[in-house]
Chains A and B, each alone.
Chain A
Amino acid sequence: MADAIPTPLDAGPVQEAKRRVRSKRGPLAYTLRVVVIAYLFFLVVWPVSVVVQRAFAPVDGKPGGIGPLWERLTDPAAIYAFNLTLTVSFWAVVINTIFGVGISILLVRHRFPGRRVLSVLIDLPMSVSPVVVGLALVLTYSTSLGIFGDVLQATGLRIINSTPGLIMATAFVSLPLVIREVIPVLEEVGDDAETAAKSLGANGWQAFWRITLPTIKWAVVYGVVLSAARAIGEYGAVRIVSRGAEFNGETATLLIQNEYGAFNEAAAYAAAFVLVVLAVLALVVITVIRPQESHRS
């Protein structure tokens, strides 16, 4: 660099690499540590572990354990509920992924009138209460009082109180998750590689498949995991747009509420246990993916 006379031993102006570990720790540091651990233990760890414990606990004198838990989970109503949750989540995630990747590329790689407005509005769904999301969809798509009610009535298409409504509600609440992950990556890597690919003769589609998609791959996976976790767990919006009755629009989260309300706590805890496991699984997957995105530091 700036050295006029290079010497063989000069390693350049690299800062001395070892990061100093703050060695001195006063009583304050220990106090804070204890406070934090206690806070998290009483607020999160202990309650969650009690739920897990309850899922395996004996009910009404009958023994607990894996067998009875499995029985409760293979109850037809539970199977229906998990099936519905998975179907709805699958479609919501698919829609959000295609929409999310597309809109991310449009927002980052293109300039058009209204772009800034759109990029602000995209985040809107996260700050709307799930109940309001449900209300909004009802006010738009309900055949009796929705804005599009007459049109839907005429075509015979049902959205509210049926699966499309569930998918829309779920897609709404998890809409920005893929976008939020993909946009920063696209912004950071820039479009040099894509331009290079195009200069080498690739058309837009080839540049997307061979260059853009591989670079945003992990961000997309990350966004998909987040969306899936959010979709599977959605409750508020779903509650409003669905009938939520047994075998009739009852998703896993609605099942928990219904069973708990019907004093069938064992079934509620069993379903909750599955959702806790899925949530932890999602967190583990996310933690594993994180290092892959080291360039985002």
Chain B
Amino acid sequence: MSIEIEGVNKFFGDFAALTDINLTIPTGQLTALLGPSGGGKSTLLRVIAGLEEADTGRVTIEGNDATSLPVQKRNVGFVFQHYAAFKHLSVRRNIAFGLEIRKRPKAEVNAKVEELLELVHLTQWGDRKPAQLSGGQRQRMALARALAIEPSVLLLDEPFGALDAKVRKELRDWLRRLHDEVHVTTVFVTHDQEEALEVADQIVVINDGKIEQIGTPDDLYDRPASEFVLSFLGPVTRLGGDLIRPHDIEISRYEQASTAAGPITRWTRVGFEVRLEITPDDALHPEPVQVALTRTEARALDLNLGDRVWLRPAVGAQSVISG
């Protein structure tokens, strides 16, 4: 196992940033630390890197106790949200930095830098300064810089957080492909559940300094361990006392065995999706129920605003009974 974290606690003054974290991160996999801002996921990443010292607990990297090793000795690659580019150095020299520190022969450094430039598609930008690159290019440079030292683990702190939506999506796909090529144990922090679900092999959901759940994206989505995980991973609505995903609700125009019934009080179309609000007339549902279906389904049912409809959980839908 690549990274072992045992009993880690971390306080900032009175604020408990991490509480009793125990976690194993498997070798060669892409693990996402997912959670809301301020939940402690970045702190955990920094503890792994050695940028932050845990108050208690142990961190083992590749079988070596790294708890008291300074960041310089841990051989981790770290990528920051805001790139942390060395502004006065060219892209090439940025990437070469770690190797120069290690006093590798010049020829070896140059060969490695060229290889990495190619890997991150920056070959033609090698002599530019970071300021002349776009955000996405800068982040790829930062990634190449971190990979240059052949780290035992690659740590990324909200790596795409500062980029706009389109670039973010591209880089996300690219990171997945890169990881399939390089196979370095990778941990990345994100607050974007879509990013985590799409890219990660394993997701660790962290909230309030505690681990909520660990599992594969499917595990988490289909078998959430708590209301928090369910609601953090996607939209939820309340139907008959249960929390359920809006697209897991079956809707019918005709009276049938159902959990709730009421008129359609709101109709929003977002691209291929139609989102409805149904306001049941019973005491069980003080708030409207959200239902999501495709445009094709909505058309087939011939639904209109104000129509009375009957709702029930779809077959196989998972839900969490709220306490």
A interface residues with partner B (beta carbon < 8 Å):
1-18, 20-21, 23
Contact = CB atoms under 8 A, between A and B. Distances in A.
Contacts of A2: 164-165, 168-169, 192
Contacts of B2: none
B192 A16 contact: no
A7 B37 contact: no
A172 B306 CA distance: 78
Given A2-B164, A2-B165, A11-B37, 12 more contacts: A1-B165, A7-B232, A7-B234, A9-B36, A9-B228, A11-B38, A12-B37, A13-B37, A13-B161, A15-B81, A15-B158, A21-B12
Given A9-B231, A16-B43, A3 B194 contact: yes
A22 to B, nearest CB: 11
19 contacts: A2-B164, A5-B193, A5-B194, A5-B234, A7-B193, A7-B232, A9-B36, A9-B231, A11-B191, A13-B158, A13-B191, A15-B158, A15-B161, A16-B37, A18-B15, A20-B12, A20-B46, A21-B12, A23-B53
Interface of A: prevailing SS = loop
A13 to B, nearest CB: 4
Contacts of A15: 37, 81, 158, 161
B17 to A, nearest CB: 8
Nearest to A21: B12
Contacts of B17: 18
A21 B165 CA distance: 32
Contacts of A17: 37-38
B12 A18 contact: yes
Contact of B36 (A3, A4, A11, A20): A11
B166 to A, nearest CB: 8
Interface in B138-196: 158, 161-162, 164-165, 168-169, 191-194
Contacts, number: 63
A10 B191 contact: yes
Contacts of A4: 194
Q: Which 9 A-B pairs have the closest CB atoms?
A: A2-B165, A13-B161, A11-B37, A16-B42, A9-B36, A14-B37, A2-B168, A16-B38, A9-B232
Interface of B: 12, 15, 17, 36-38, 42-43, 46, 52-53, 81, 158, 161-162, 164-165, 168-169, 191-194, 228, 231-235
A16 to B, nearest CB: 5
A225 B234 CA distance: 57
B234 A10 contact: no
Contacts of A11: 36-38, 191
B161 to A, nearest CB: 4
B81 to A, nearest CB: 6
Contacts of B165: 1-2
Contacts of B228: 9
A3 B43 CA distance: 23
Contacts of B234: 5, 7
Contacts of A3: 192-194
A55 B200 CA distance: 74
A225 to B, nearest CB: 35
Contacts of A16: 37-38, 42-43
A180 B250 CA distance: 68
B205 to A, nearest CB: 11
B237 to A, nearest CB: 11
B265 to A, nearest CB: 20
A8 B38 CA distance: 15
A13 B162 contact: yes
B12 to A, nearest CB: 6
A18 B164 CA distance: 24
Nearest to B17: A18
B16 to A, nearest CB: 12
Contacts of A23: 53
B14 to A, nearest CB: 12
A253 to B, nearest CB: 45
Nearest to B40: A16
